[in-house]
Amino acid sequence: MVQEIRNFINNEYVDGVSTFDDINPVDGSLIGNVHTADAAVVDKAVKAARTALEGPWGRMSTPERVNLLRKIADRIDERFEDLLQAEIADTGKPEGLARAVDVARASANFRSFADTVASAGLDSYLTEPANGDNALMYAVRKPLGVVGVIVPWNLPLLLLTWKVAPALATGNTVVVKPSEETPASATLLGEIMAEAGLPEGVYNVVHGYGDTGAHITSHPDVDGITFTGESKTGSIIMKTVSDRVLPVSFELGGKNAALVFDDCNVEEAVAGLTRSLYTNSGQVCMCTERVYIQRGIFDEVVDGLIESAKKLKLGAPFAEGTDFGPLISAKHREKVQSFCDLAEKNGAETLLGGGVPDMGAELNGGSWFEPTLWKGLAHEDEVMRKEVFGPVAGLIPFDTEEEAIHLANDTEYGLCASIWTQNLERAHRVAPKMNVGLSWVNTWYLRDLRAPFGGSGLSGIGREGGQHSFDFYTEPVNVAIKLG
């Protein structure tokens, strides 16, 4: 059945000025009609958020907000299957992945930030200058205000709650724009939070394309922007908000490297690399697209990766054993295919994949693409420099540790890296030398929600997670009390 996916403002569904199609990437079928928000609808959402901020929500105590966040987490768990269906319909990802990661993390995010804000403290100092003007200095947190939250299509619910939970924990209100590719779960989350008791205007959702996002980032009553998505879009947002010097928090693209040393456990490295190459069909900002392998084990690791990738099962999300889904859209598949064509033009040997698989009559209308591996590329080739955001990787040999570090760091991006070695000294030596925000050793995508998350360069600005999120969502005010 085709759904009507409306904007969500003041805990009510609001029609847009037009609609666009929400397409299932598994088979190309129509999921829903999505209502587009123009400048007037966005303005209504921002005004609702401002009214809530200046009303009862703004006067709510931290313990009251903590209690509400935990109620929201409980309600997410109660409506787990509804969110699961919405997320899978929009993204096409396998049920096991969506169940274990996307929806499970939604409630975990609310509980984690509820715990963090409940125990958070701030600086205080007893100031004793030579002139005797003793004073007590202490800091208090004030919410940033109305926050524009713009999230991508690859992990729509996970990344949305990763931003909304700390924003609400610290007393902000939000205007959310999900990707036009994945509108359903953000809208459903509004309904779920209203059921849990979230006051009107605290959480608002507007749908649309880039114009809708631009209406948010340019709105004079928005106090900050948090964005996850393409580096190019992040640059556009920075230019938009620069005149007002608005705070921004960006988690952008990645061209992440893996360093595989000849003292690694090859079996474990192959298994870990397979995850980092192909999770969510390579559509995760932290996925690996550059694999540098020490020359002595190059062929062994390459052969292992080929065999491991061949075991991946492409199929419908709820089919038994499916662990590899489609790309998000036909347009994105064209982009990935263009990089595969460029790789071969640059002299790459395609070891596996490189094209569109035959999925049968029922699924061929979807946006499927094969797991792909190349060798024979140079580090300087364009496909080894630009983010593809698909299930592809270039495999390149190296000789020395110094060379591997140079290759990994020779990029405009700086999100994450993984290092595969059984040498403890090497692990401690190499991991901190990666110019990234996350440096994994003998693992990938191992996270603690309290730890800092983010990148540098074209991979972003700022850090999220635990107390680090509060650095963006709050403004500290120092209070100085003269002690007499």
Tokens of 22: 């929400």
E strand or H helix at 272: helix 266-278
CA–centroid distance for 71 within its chain: 24
* CA dist., res. 205 & res. 14, Å (int): 10
**CB of 146 within 8 A of CB of 223?**
yes
| Residue type present at position 289 | E
Nearest to 257 by CA among 290, 234, 235: 290
Taking residue 237's Cβ as centre, other Cβ atoms within 10 Å add up to 22
DSSP assignment of 5-51 equals E-EEETTEEE--SEEEEEE-TTT--EEEEEEEP-HHHHHHHHHHHHH
* CA dist., res. 458 & res. 97, Å (int): 28
Q: Which residues, in sequence order, are bridge partners of residue 4?
A: 33
Query: Exactly one of 87, 95, 180, 251 is catalytic; which is it?
Result: 251
Nearest to 95 by CA among 363, 280, 285, 278: 280
What's the Cα-to-Cα distance from 6 to each of 147, 188, 352, rounded to whole Å?
Answer: 20, 10, 42
Secondary structure of 302-350 in HEC code, one letter for each residue? HHHHHHHHHCCCECCCCCCCCCECCCCCHHHHHHHHHHHHHHHHCCCEE
| Residue type present at position 193 | M
Tokens of 239: 């230019």
The DSSP letter of residue 453 is: B
E strand or H helix at 65: helix 62-78
Is 370 assigned a catalytic role? no
* CA dist., res. 425 & res. 405, Å (int): 15
Please, what's the largest Cα pairwise distance for the chain?
85
* CA dist., res. 156 & res. 429, Å (int): 36
> To which residue do tokens 């909304």 refer?
164
Helix (H, G, I), strand (E, B) or coil at 446: coil
Helix (H, G, I), strand (E, B) or coil at 141: strand
| Residue type present at position 76 | I
Positions marked catalytic:
251
